[in-house]
Structure 1
Amino acid sequence: MTYDSAATRARLLAAAYDEFVQVGFAGARVGRIADTASANKQAIYAYFGSKEALFDAVLGDRLRVLADVVPFTPADLPGYTAALFDELTSDPSLQRLTQWKMLERPEASDQEQEAHLTKAGDLAAYYGVPLTTAMDAMMIALAAAQSWNTTAPTIRNPRDEDAGARLAAHRAALVAAVTATVGTLLGEPAGER
């Protein structure tokens, strides 16, 4: 039997993703991850160096997948937010991983910093606004995209509306909110002034 380093690394990432989603960073056990991946604990340290680095690798991997599935266009921040919302509501595990990350390791990783700054830089250039203003708009859009999974499922619906209709109404509201944010913070694109 030949040893496949890339396959072992991929199995470790998949097992770690499942473990971190279920129990968070603090509750995750390196031994369980290794067992699930049919590897040994030493492989985790050889590939990733530490549990912290493994968590960062899992987040980075999921951010790359998310970036591929939901491409960013500075000309349509509301559309980007809606597409991100759709992806997050269709994959509750990703939302849960993000929530664990925010609870247990609230500082932004280098990959998160780079992703957010790149998008904010694109917004700043497109609208001709300072980077800090574009970053504010980006953070509002990201918070809006995550809003359903953060609160809505835990709040009882007093009118017993259809869950699909409620989700659609929430999506429409967040698009309207981000559209207002664009108008308030960003204004017209730089080329249209």
Structure 2
Amino acid sequence: MPRNPDATRARIMKAATDEFATYGIAGARMDRVAERAASSKERIYTYFGNKEQLFDAVFRNYVEESLAEVDFDAHDLPAYAGRMFDHFADDPERLRLSTWYRLERAGATPLQTLIDTNDLRVRRIAAAQDDGSVPSHFSAVQLLALIQALSTSWATMNPEFSALAAPISRRKRRRTVVEAVARVVGVTADTPSGAE
């Protein structure tokens, strides 16, 4: 049977995504990735380099998929926050990858994709502030930080608080995020019923 390098890389990426989301970089084991991908550790190293480079490839892929899935609209930041909430609620693995990235790659070479994404979003918010669509009582950087934190707030609680918040439905959690961001930017939240 002829080898298909693209299919092998895709299997490795899927297996590595699952492994890193569950165990982080330090806890991930390349032999488990190889087994799940029906490949070998040697092939993984050939395609991706070491474990940290494989994680960076996984995280870069995650960021690019997220950018394609979650439209950023500086003129409707509450709706964007709702879409971000959905993005993480639909697949908690995404937030786990982000958490491991922050914890274990803080001193590594920054990913250009993230630099470019953050820069673009800050510039779009600043432009919306300049045209009066978004208030400027917070800087564009402050607003982006608040929106990102509010969008992931329900998913980042400690287990004890999660238990306390368990009776609150996903719909109400999403609505809370959208309304909170609306208040931060001084607009009225308008969440389509289908998105709740």
- The alignment's TM-score, normalised by the length of structure 2, stands at 0.81
Determine the structure 1 residue equivalent to 2:3: 3
Larger % of helix: which?
Answer: 1
Distance 2:9 2:142 in 1: 36
Q: Does 1:52 align with 2:52?
A: yes
1:122 to 107, 121, 124: 124
Give the Å deviation of 1:153: 5.7
Give the Å deviation of 1:170: 2.7
1:174 to 164, 172, 177: 177
Q: Does 1:141 align with 2:147?
A: yes
Distance 2:71 2:160 in 1: 29
Structure 1 portions without partners, runs of 5+: 185-193
Give the aligned residue type for 1:72. F
Distance 2:12 2:101 in 1: 19
Determine the structure 1 residue equivalent to 2:70: 70
Task: Decide whether aligned partners of structure 1 residues 86 and 152 sit closer, same or farther in structure 2, where only a CA change above 3 A counts.
Answer: farther
Distance 1:54 1:140 in 2: 30
Whether the aligned pair in 2 keeps the contact of 1:117 and 1:135 (CA below 8 Å) is no
Distance 1:53 1:154 in 2: 35
2:156 to 137, 150, 154: 150
Alignment RMSD: 2.4
Structure 2 portions without partners, runs of 5+: 188-196
Q: Does 1:90 align with 2:90?
A: yes
Distance 2:118 2:158 in 1: 25
Distance 1:18 1:183 in 2: 39
Q: Deviations over 1:80-122 (max 9, x none)?
A: 0111101211111112222222222235533222211111122
Q: Deviations over 1:48-102 (max 9, x none)?
A: 2221111111111111222222111111111101111012111111122222222
- The alignment's TM-score, normalised by the length of structure 1, stands at 0.82
Whether the aligned pair in 2 keeps the contact of 1:60 and 1:111 (CA below 8 Å) is yes
Give the Å deviation of 1:154: 4.1
Distance 2:143 2:67 in 1: 18
Whether the aligned pair in 2 keeps the contact of 1:78 and 1:178 (CA below 8 Å) is yes
**Sequence identity, in percent?**
35
Give the Å deviation of 1:152: 6.8
SS where residue 157 of structure 1 aligns?
helix
Give the aligned residue type for 2:35. D
Deviates more, 1:43-52 or 1:21-30: 43-52
